[in-house]
Amino acid sequence: MEGFARITLLAALTFSPTASAGTVYEGTLGKSAIVAELDASADGLEGRYFYRRHRLDIPLEAQPAADGAQVLGERADWRTEEAERPHWELRRASDGGYAGQWRDAKGKSLPIALKPVAAARLPVEADPALEALRKGETYDYLRLSGLKLVDDGSEQRGAYRLQWRREPNSGIRLFEVVDGYPADTRDRVNRVLHARLWSEVQAYYECLSGGGEGEYDQTVTVHRLDPKILSASVFTSYYCGGAHPDFGDSPINLDPRTGRALRLEDVISTGKPAPSDEHDSAWLDYRSQVWAPWLVAQFERLYPEQMKTSGGEDECDYADEQIWSFPSWHATDKGLYLGASFYRAARACDDPDWSVLPWSVVRQHHGAVDIAP
């Protein structure tokens, strides 16, 4: 299940803005502009905030009230002792916001002034991806608002011309298709790609907000462009403040005909019904009990030498069904690539270069969506 857990974390980072649990405020801490999200819990007031110039979250933990003030402790770095961390003392203001003081362990004090953000009064965004955030995730929208995308080179891939776009602060980049598809198809595909670019920028800031020495490095590789599929790897090496750094691929696999993201079950069939809900235990059972054994049987037939193992301690055991339960996948000129996912100590065995189901096999076992050339 480690591969599934890693894929789930990547998906959470790259596809889902952090759910807003509280009320969003904007204002100042000292002379610095900040945005805060505060929520009343059983323990008191808690939440998070960021300085507009940095855009990185600093968590706020509820602490015992003092003299009628709500007290919140900053937790920017888990390695810092609680007594050494700054804290906030807030009281309700007449405008529905908060006023108070920021104090550090050395006795320094700065004024805090916050007022609630009226999301409906924020200017409408011309960018559809940012407009969706403005309507639904005000805190995340205010983090990204003001950032601009710049052109970052173009390239020709067969009949398709790509324009790369980059967000300079994070360095996150992704492409758009500017020629090769009909206009309606191009618009449909680019809406998805543009939204994905902004979600990756958001993931960058979410990750680096983990406290301490966060890292988030990403490489995008285009694998296949044709009328049936747009397929690219989005490989990320990241450390978000947890126990260990990690890496993984969260690929883009789009059906240009619909603009819909493709699931593995859409394009390949084992001959047995696959549950559609990826949050259901039945789907997890299908992947481990039906899909993985089926794929291992295919690879043992196609790549008998690579699938052999002598049982050595440092050997990559590609016959282990568990490593194929939740593969990353993308389309290539040769067929459907599927990447193995090993436990942490054997991560060097991940994603072998040979694990491709040829198009001839995909045609024999295609799913409801035909992507074979």
Report the C-alpha gap between 172 and 247 in whole angstroms.
16
pLDDT at 214: 82
Report whether pLDDT(109) > 80.
Answer: yes
Q: What integer pLDDT is reported at residue 343 of this predicted model?
A: 80
Backbone angles phi, psi at 176, to 5 degrees: -125, 155
pLDDT of residue 5: 46
Strands 69-74 and 87-92, how do they pair? antiparallel
* CB hemisphere CA count around 51 (13 angstroms): 7
Taking alpha carbons only, the member of 168, 194, 372 closest to residue 268 is: 372
pLDDT, tens digit, for every residue of 224-248?
Answer: 999 999 999 999 999 987 778 888 9
Q: Are 107 and 100 in contact (CB under 8 A)?
A: no
How far apart CA 214 and CA 196 sit, in angstroms, is 21
Strand duo 246-249 + 260-261: pairing = unpaired
Residue 211 has what pLDDT?
Answer: 61
**Of all helices (H) and strands (E), which one includes residue 42?**
none
Neighbours of 282 (CB within 10 A): 12
The mean pLDDT value for 85-100 works out to 94
- Residue 285's pLDDT band, with cuts at 50, 70 and 90, is very high
- Is the pLDDT at 98 greater than 70? The verdict is yes
Give the CA distances from residue 47 to residues 20, 43, 82, 105, 214, in Å, rounded to whole numbers and listed in that order. 10, 12, 17, 20, 20
Tell me: pLDDT of 10 over 70: no
What percentage of the chain reaches a pLDDT higher than 70?
A: 90
pLDDT over 50 at 15, yes or no: no
Q: Is the distance from CB of 151 to CB of 163 less than 8 angstroms?
A: yes
- Percent of the chain residues topping a pLDDT of 90: 76
Residue 125 carries which DSSP code?
P
pLDDT reading at 17 higher than 50: no
Task: Quick: pLDDT tens for 190-199.
Answer: 999 999 999 9
Which residues does 339 contact at the CB level (< 8 Å), separation at least 6? 249, 327, 328, 329, 350, 351, 352, 355
Closest residue by Cα to residue 141 from 153, 154, 124, 158: 124
Please state whether beta strands 160-166 and 173-179 pair in parallel, antiparallel, or not at all (unpaired). antiparallel
| 87-109 average pLDDT score | 95
Q: Give 146-187 pLDDT, tens digit per residue.
A: 999 999 999 999 999 999 999 999 999 999 999 999 999 999
pLDDT at 78: 59
Q: What is the mean pLDDT of residues 298-326?
A: 89
This prediction has a pTM of: 0.88
73-81 contacts, C-beta under 8 A, 24 or more apart: 75/211, 76/211, 77/211, 77/212, 78/211, 78/212, 78/241, 79/212
For 48-92, how does the pLDDT look when each residue is reduced to its tens digit (9 = 90+)? 999 999 999 999 999 988 888 999 999 866 556 667 889 999 999
Q: Is the pLDDT of residue 14 over 60?
A: no
Residue 369 confidence (pLDDT) above 60: yes
pLDDT higher than 50, residue 111: yes
Query: Using CA of residue 207, residue 209, residue 211, residue 216, what is the dihedral sign?
Result: positive
Please give the average per-residue pLDDT across 3-31, as a whole number.
Answer: 65
Per the document, the length of the chain is: 373
Q: Nearest-CA neighbor of 55 among 130, 167, 140, 166? A: 140
- Give me the chain's average pLDDT, please: 90
Task: Reply yes or no on whether the pLDDT at 19 is more than 50.
Answer: no
Rounded mean pLDDT of 322-344?
A: 94
The answer, yes or no, to whether residue 202 has pLDDT greater than 80, is: yes
Instruction: Let me know: does 93 contact 76? Beta carbons within 8 Å.
Output: no
Q: How confident is the model at residue 16 (pLDDT cuts 50, 70, 90)?
A: very low
Query: Which domains are assigned to the chain?
Result: 21-121 (2.40.128), 147-261 (3.30.565), 267-364 (no CATH)
